[in-house]
Structure 1
């Protein structure tokens, strides 16, 4: 039976009441550390350092995704190495404040820089790093560009970072039992980017969803993203697991209804307006101005909405 932890419910209500806490206008919420936010315990033994919902900047040092860790009783499992050596090092310092258990595994939730560029810190500690094979391949292709971007915006906070891929890869899933936790490392199917990875704690009803799920910032849609596949993965693979608690890739811990509202429903909305526009004979230039105003309150709307529309237009034009 899954426990219904009152703390997360209260936590979520408090966050809903103070939406400004998720704002991309806040440059840094934890000035004592290179981390944007001090880690919080979401449910017992599951912690996350909630990143900024803004693009990466010097002020947030690239900590604009969630860096989570599990205290199992027989070691710690970290989800995401962070965007740099220094972010990984800072997260490790916070872990040591919580427990003297050693970090035994790091899991990269995708192949983007903010999930993998801190790998070299953990590898230097002798910690294995696990990622999906497709995410590892994406990082190998893009690591140089990701490092250059980090050095450009983070400046001295990029020091020590050397791109290193994972030490281990998986294809479909990996089940791990460590201490009191049963951990399922899953690739549910095509979604936001190659090798999107979810960490499922079935006995706790908690999903560390990664970038399959968004709710406080607009989902970015990349060239090559199959939005129809993303919706299908959501409906056929994520929903049947019925998570009670969700830690998304970006933003505060929440529940399935909230991430469905701002991920699946957003994708359906955008595909709907693009599809209607295509039926009217519309062209790419006009697609950028399609109505997405229902989502204008989301962080990164200004940066992503028009680009998302153009990418989905290109995807659907030949469906």
Structure 2
């Protein structure tokens, strides 16, 4: 079994693990990779660092779960009915404890479309109010997008939103564990939450934190607000262990480097461009080469620069 020390070392010393050209790591399962035990009883199936494709079945985020002693808490519904079932099959091989609750880290497809499977199992599903609204408004097109790339792997998937929502914090006391599902503030997408295990000093960060791949900046991603949330709420956790939304389990230094530091860097590049009278057409090509080694750089760097320019010209 891979130990936490192995995972942390690999996440820093072996970036080739995250190469989006790597073939599926778990043939025979819809999961991109087999779940690993990050610390005792906290597991995560690490997703591909590529965009969602038929080959990775949309498993390009981390699907985590905690075996509490009195049931299992799952973090993320998964991108499809079959993907959620594949995760459940793995859980059943690890423990006979039932899944008692599913937490959606946000309203994106790879967090919520697998709710279709979990709802059939009668499992309560929790999400932030804003994430639930996002899925309610855009769920139909999110499902259609998944069906296009996943084809037959989309079979059985239907729209199923959370059964319970919250605004600030949702506490789960189960077995030997306390899980604090926290809305820390505006971040990557509406309703992003992180799951904090205070006794273990571990945070399942969701899309608050990225590692090994370039983060995407959406049209509604307010980068200044994300940085404020990071400094005021996320950094003070001072977590020892971080399971990011994307990329291998690691530590605060690494996710800071590829999330906060990247946002600060890109905003500085765009600020200089604006101050020099630069236009949007040229903003796409500001220098981002310090982050060129990250997966999805080619897909996202120019888009990110353009969106940050559009934000900052009115700041």
* Common fold: TM-score over 0.5: yes
Aligned to 1:17: 13
Aligned to 2:219: 223
C-alpha distance in 2, partners of 1:86/1:171? Answer: 30
SS at match of 2:264: helix
C-alpha distance in 1, partners of 2:277/2:212? Answer: 33
SS at match of 2:209: coil
- Paired positions, count: 314
C-alpha distance in 1, partners of 2:100/2:89? Answer: 15
Aligned to 2:136: 140
Aligned to 2:113: 117
Deviations 1:156-194 (A, max 9, x none): 100000011100000000111100001100000000000
Deviations 1:66-92 (A, max 9, x none): 000000000000000100000000000
TM-score, scaled to structure 2 = 0.98
Q: Structure 1: which 5+ runs fail to align?
A: 1-5
Aligned to 2:204: 208
TM-score, scaled to structure 1 = 0.97
- Of 257, 261, 267, the residue aligned with 1:261 is 257
Aligned to 2:176: 180
Ranges of 4+ aligned residues in structure 1 off by more than 6 Å? none
How far residue 236 of structure 1 moved from its aligned partner, in angstroms, is: 0.6
- Of 161, 165, 172, the residue aligned with 1:169 is 165
Aligned to 2:294: 298
SS at match of 1:211: strand
How far residue 18 of structure 1 moved from its aligned partner, in angstroms, is: 2.6
- Of 10, 29, 32, the residue aligned with 1:33 is 29
Q: Structure 2: which 5+ runs fail to align?
A: none
Q: Does residue 313 of structure 1 match 2:313?
A: no
How far residue 27 of structure 1 moved from its aligned partner, in angstroms, is: 3.1
How far residue 7 of structure 1 moved from its aligned partner, in angstroms, is: 3.6
C-alpha distance in 2, partners of 1:45/1:12? Answer: 17
1:69-148 alignment runs, 5 A limit? 69-148=65-144
